[in-house]
Chain A
Amino acid sequence: MKFYLEFFMIFFKIGLFTLGGGYAMIPLIKEQIVDKKKWMEEIEFIDVLGVAQSCPGALAVNVSVFVGWKLRKCIGILVAVLGTVLPSFIIILIIAIFFKNLENNALFISVFKGIKPAIVALIIAPAIGMGQALKLKPQKWIISIIIGVVIAFTEISPILFIVGSMILGNILSREKGREI
């Protein structure tokens, strides 16, 4: 029981103190699980990270599923995932309840008038950063922009593009799997 509580608290703390989503949580998970508790080797953790990134869903949740399974199978998964999710769940719930009563508040409206265009820039910036990091060629930028426009302005589901590009990646790639 003491183990489960400790295990839960580690993930709860990670969930509670990481701003900015999944990627920000990874170094903290590694610090606790690999460096401090030594529940897992570093090599194994890196392997897990690779798989977790390629799986659907939130990265932090995927990693906690794996760590939970490794340490205590199904109950481990439950404890780790609950620990990761619960802080966001509680905080957002409080904000949602609070927001309901604030929607017509003048100050609140002004604040969000300023924040909204900033959010659009906050979303575009990582897309540009990712493209630069991957050294995307101009024709691929055009493909990305077209996909973006289609998703934003038509009813075509993103699922189609996700599944389609995974299949195309296999059909079009040359031997080394570098191209496309």
Chain B
Amino acid sequence: MIYWELFSTFFKIGLFSFGGGYAMLSMIEQEIVRNHSWITIGQFTDIIAVSQITPGPIAINSATYIGYITTNSILGSICSTIGVVLPSIIVMSILIKFIKMFKESKYVEKAFIGLRPTVIGLILGAAFSLMKPDIFIDYYSYIIFLGVLIAILKYKVGVVKIIIVSAILGILLY
């Protein structure tokens, strides 16, 4: 059943997403675009774009959006959103009791040092999976890509400005 599948898929995504929103993207992409084919890679990019300019965590945004798109109903959104949030509630409720122990644990610390290159790898993975002809349609796309990269890394331009400028470029160029 689609509702159960939405719930369980997003539960899995919620349970294994370490390192913040961007690191979750590669997991969402693999599950939703490749394994389940619920949306296309182009639609997936749209969701990320929308998440950048709307409030809230990207995990919640994509769960709500994908839940609706795949089922055409609010119930779908509810199932996937509860799915992605529930692991946080369960894991945090358990850890609250052991917060001191968890914080001072050498094993936890080492595990997270080990996780660092992986988190960066997960984020890069999400970006690599978007480097496809659906996204990079001509050489203008590459110019926009490089321009934005420089704008963020060198000039620390904000996300909202970048989205607005590239939207205007889209209208002018295509």
Interface residues of A (CB under 8 A from B): 15-23, 25, 47-48, 50-52, 54-62, 65-66, 69-70, 77, 81, 84-85, 87-89, 91-93, 95-97, 99-100, 107, 109-131, 134, 136, 140, 143-153, 155, 157-159, 161-162, 164-170, 172-173, 177-178, 180
**B56 adjacent to A119 (CB under 8 Å):** no
Interface size on B, residues (CB 8 A): 102
**A151 adjacent to B30 (CB under 8 Å):** yes
In the complex with contacts A21-B21, A161-B118, A123-B64 CB distance below 8 A: no
Q: Which residues from A are CB-within-8-Å of B99?
A: 47-48, 51
Bound-state Cα–Cα, A50 to B69, Å: 35
In the complex with contacts A89-B64, A114-B173, A115-B49, A123-B114 CB distance below 8 A: no
**B20 adjacent to A22 (CB under 8 Å):** yes
Most buried by A among B108, B123, B145, B159: B123
Most buried by B among A84, A114, A130, A158: A158
Bound-state Cα–Cα, A136 to B115, Å: 13
In the complex with contacts A81-B89, A96-B68, A128-B153, A165-B117 CB distance below 8 A: yes
**A152 adjacent to B88 (CB under 8 Å):** no
**A56 adjacent to B48 (CB under 8 Å):** no
Of A109, A116, A122, which is within 8 A of B141 by CB? A116
23 A-B contacts (beta carbon < 8 Å): A15-B56, A18-B55, A18-B56, A22-B21, A56-B15, A57-B91, A61-B60, A62-B88, A85-B81, A89-B77, A93-B64, A115-B45, A115-B167, A116-B141, A121-B144, A127-B22, A144-B118, A146-B121, A148-B26, A149-B125, A152-B124, A166-B115, A178-B113
* Chain B nearest Cβ from A125, distance in angstroms: 4
User: What secondary structure prevails in chain A residues at the interface with B?
Assistant: helix
Bound-state Cα–Cα, A66 to B93, Å: 7
In the complex with contacts A56-B18, A119-B52, A147-B124, A170-B107 CB distance below 8 A: yes
Q: Which residues from A are CB-within-8-Å of B121?
A: 143-148, 151, 161
Bound-state Cα–Cα, A77 to B90, Å: 11
Q: Which residues from B are CB-within-8-Å of A69?
A: 92-93, 96
Bound-state Cα–Cα, A55 to B103, Å: 11
* Chain B nearest Cβ from A126, distance in angstroms: 6
Of A58, A97, A107, which is within 8 A of B21 by CB? A58
**A129 adjacent to B153 (CB under 8 Å):** yes
**In the A-B complex, the 8 residue pairs with the closest CB atoms:** A169-B114, A114-B170, A88-B56, A147-B121, A148-B124, A57-B88, A151-B125, A152-B128
